[in-house]
Amino acid sequence: MKRIISLSLIAGTALTFASSLSVYQDKTLYRYMPESTFIGLTKNIKAKCEGESVSLSHTLNCPDNGHLCKLYAKADALEANMLANTNNTKLLQTLVNLPQPNKIDAVSWVDAAKVLAKEQTKLALEERQLNHEKRKIKQRFSQKTQATMPLALEKACQGELELTLPYGFVTFTTEYAAELTEDQLKVTQQLFIRNQSGIDMKADEAHFYYRPAEQYVRPIHFSPWIVGEQKAYLPKKSKHPMRKMRVEESVVQLNTMAADAPAPVRATYEDAREYAIKGLVLPSTGEPKTVPVIDWKVPVTCKTELFAYRNPNAFKVCSFKPKFQIEQNRWKITKDGKIINERAVGEYGKDTYHLYTQIDQDIKVVRRKIVQKERETGIFGGTARKKDGFTLTITNKSDKEKKMSVTERIPTSTTEKIKVKLLSVKGSSPVKYQLLKDGKLTMNVTLAAHETKKIEVLFEISYDKDVKIDY
């Protein structure tokens, strides 16, 4: 599915050639008409001019019209100041170590000592400040680029320049936000683009792909499935049986690979999702650039669910049918402008999408096994019968009524030798429940404000008295 986001066109541009940016999951391609040989503060890239590979080299010249070059110039000036500070410190130490005069003028000596001490302190403080500035600049550089020196073409390119950048230099992610009301969900999808290449980019058209640019699909050719008469095979004795076995296994594996033609090592992406942006200005700041993609509204139904056998926390789940394909399952959920969950998780069900919004802190759950003395074991004929179960104590601590769907389970058997039967599901008031496939037990529970309900589940396992069971 192709989605296009329109941004304001770059002001003052009158290019006859359309620059482009293509970001894949394994590399980035940037095509443009260069105005000079300078590329940026970058490394490990490849360049082609009009389709022909060209050489790159480091340079000390960095145009002062880009923010990275200004930072580079500041770092260069800082290095010069640090060098001057080091030399001044050495010179001062040399003066201190000069031979002492035979006769000392106490007043002059004290005055000189004060001056020297003052200068030493000044230089030490200056060195500390310079080191602090150096750490700050180094940190800022690491956020914006992985290189420390400018890179340029060895000779000017008069046509289209294509740069190939490694994975991680330009990246993007999609994120979802949802504003929740009682019966509606407003979904907003955004694109977050980060440039850490060291190259300031301007693209008339930018494309972002959720797939690699390089995909290997192994050719597969038909091979017949042969059926034949099984022949006895008696291997010859070998002085090295283990070595012989490994050789024979290798031959079998090679023959199997040739005949069966296994699936490709790397499969193609089934849904090649693509985003396009017109007039994208993307400086190498390392900061994510936020671009809205699309927003839509859908009806939603929310309920509280509890899986007490796995987790004692009840949680809220909101279900809806997406208008567009959802591409990742991390969400930011808000309601009435307030944050509900900044890292909510979602997943596709059979025909709906389920968004797990938050834990219901008002529900307290305690699950206990039936104590040993309440278990009954008996043998009738050749069959042993064992009763077992558990209790659920659910408390609503809020001032409002709570309704929830409770999912529990009883053991399920995969053999006729062992059978399981649900005996009862009892509570202080009647409990509505269903026993489904694979021992899945669902119950609908309603709790009034500050109400506590205790539910007891009993089941029986019958099996041959000589069989040992484990569950």
- At residue 386, the pLDDT reads 87
What residues contact residue 293 under an 8 Å CB cut-off, 6+ apart?
A: 3, 5, 174, 189, 190, 191, 275
- At residue 232, the pLDDT reads 58
Alpha carbon of residue 445 to chain centroid: 37
95: tokens are: 């003066």
Paired strand residues for 470? none
Please tell me the distance from the alpha carbon of residue 354 to that of residue 358, in angstroms, as a whole number: 12
The answer to whether 427 touches 453, Cβ cutoff 8 Å, is yes
Type of residue at 335: K
pLDDT one digit per residue (tens) for the chain, 471 residues: 444 444 443 333 344 568 999 999 999 999 999 989 999 899 999 999 999 999 999 988 888 667 788 777 777 777 777 777 777 777 777 766 766 666 656 666 666 667 777 777 777 777 787 777 777 777 777 778 878 888 999 999 999 999 999 999 999 988 899 999 888 999 998 888 999 999 999 999 898 988 888 888 888 787 777 666 656 555 555 555 444 434 333 333 323 333 333 332 222 223 447 888 888 999 998 889 888 888 899 999 999 999 999 999 999 999 999 988 888 899 999 998 899 999 999 999 988 999 999 999 999 999 999 865 444 455 556 788 889 999 999 999 999 999 999 999 999 988 888 899 999 999 888 889 999 999 999 999 999 999 999 999 999 998 888 888 888
Which residue in 458, 316, 460, 457 sits closest to 392, CA to CA?
Answer: 457
| 194 membership: H or E segment, kind and range | strand 184-195
What residues contact residue 117 under an 8 Å CB cut-off, 6+ apart?
A: none
Q: In Å, how far are 39, 42, 62, 131, 283 from 36, measured between CA atoms?
A: 8, 16, 11, 34, 17
Which residue in 394, 350, 327 sits closest to 191, CA to CA?
Answer: 327
The answer to whether 92 touches 118, Cβ cutoff 8 Å, is no
| Straight-line distance from the first to the last Cα atom of the chain, in angstroms, rounded to the nearest whole number | 48
- At residue 251, the pLDDT reads 31
Please tell me the distance from the alpha carbon of residue 206 to that of residue 23, in angstroms, as a whole number: 8
Which residue in 235, 48, 18, 21 sits closest to 157, CA to CA?
Answer: 48
Other beta carbons less than 10 A from residue 367's beta carbon: 18
**Strands ordered across the beta sheet of 338-348:** 289-299, 184-195, 170-180, 330-335, 338-348, 353-359, 315-320, 301-306, 402-409, 440-447, 432-435
The answer to whether 325 touches 271, Cβ cutoff 8 Å, is yes
- At residue 105, the pLDDT reads 64
Global pTM reads 0.65
Paired strand residues for 387? 460
Which residue in 397, 183, 194 sits closest to 282, CA to CA?
Answer: 194
The answer to whether 152 touches 57, Cβ cutoff 8 Å, is yes
291: tokens are: 């671009």
359: tokens are: 């834990």
Q: β-strand 383-396 against 363-369: which pairing, if any?
A: antiparallel
Q: Which residue has the tokens 């150096």?
A: 134
- At residue 231, the pLDDT reads 63
